[in-house]
Amino acid sequence: MRKIIILMTVLSLMSCLEWVNVKVNGDPMSPTFVFDQRFILSTLEIIEYKGDDNWEQVWGISEKLTGKPDKESVFLSKVKYGEVPYGYREYIAKQEIVANTLYSVGFSGGAERGGGYFAVIEEEGQVKIVNFTDIKLSKDVIARFKEILQGN
């Protein structure tokens, strides 16, 4: 009986998690991460694909947990790469965004979680952002990214 109660509690908590979508836009070398709703962001990390399924963190922020935070300051609907919002701290120093590179963005806050993939692509002298909002598995994103680099 106890195992059933624990399982039901875990399943109940998992169902409370809400997925927040993100779209990446703006300046490709300093992109803006726009969430489809405002929420209390706890952490945000940007990870760069290094090849052969290797990823490296290139920026990370989290809430400052000192004293009683001003709740309005932690409700966010967007974050610009490299700019630390009021009430947050940078725990992974910003690295330069590189053209023809694949990135992953992941974040959490309260009952919300989210993430996605984007690439910064240079074509014919123009640098642009490509969002992979319709692809969820990293292997599928990597395959599509490689196709884009090859001109398909």
pTM over 0.85: no
Residue 108 lies in a domain: yes
Please state, as a whole number, how many other Cβ atoms lie within 10 Å of the Cβ of residue 100.
13
Q: Which domain holds residue 66?
A: 17-149
Give the count of domains, the chain: 1
Residue pair 64/89 in contact by the 8 Å Cβ criterion: yes
Section 78-86 average pLDDT: 94
Residue 1 lies in a domain: no
Predicted confidence (pLDDT) per residue in 117-128, tens digit: 999 999 888 999
Residue 137 lies in a domain: yes
Residue 12 lies in a domain: no
Indicate the residue type of 139: K
Residue 33 lies in a domain: yes
Predicted confidence (pLDDT) per residue in 22-62, tens digit: 999 999 999 999 998 888 888 999 999 998 879 999 999 99
Residue 2 lies in a domain: no
Predicted confidence (pLDDT) per residue in 3-16, tens digit: 444 434 444 444 45
| CATH number of the domain to which 84 belongs | 2.60.40
Residue 7 lies in a domain: no
Residue 124 lies in a domain: yes
Predicted confidence (pLDDT) per residue in 100-112, tens digit: 999 999 998 878 8
Indicate the residue type of 91: Y
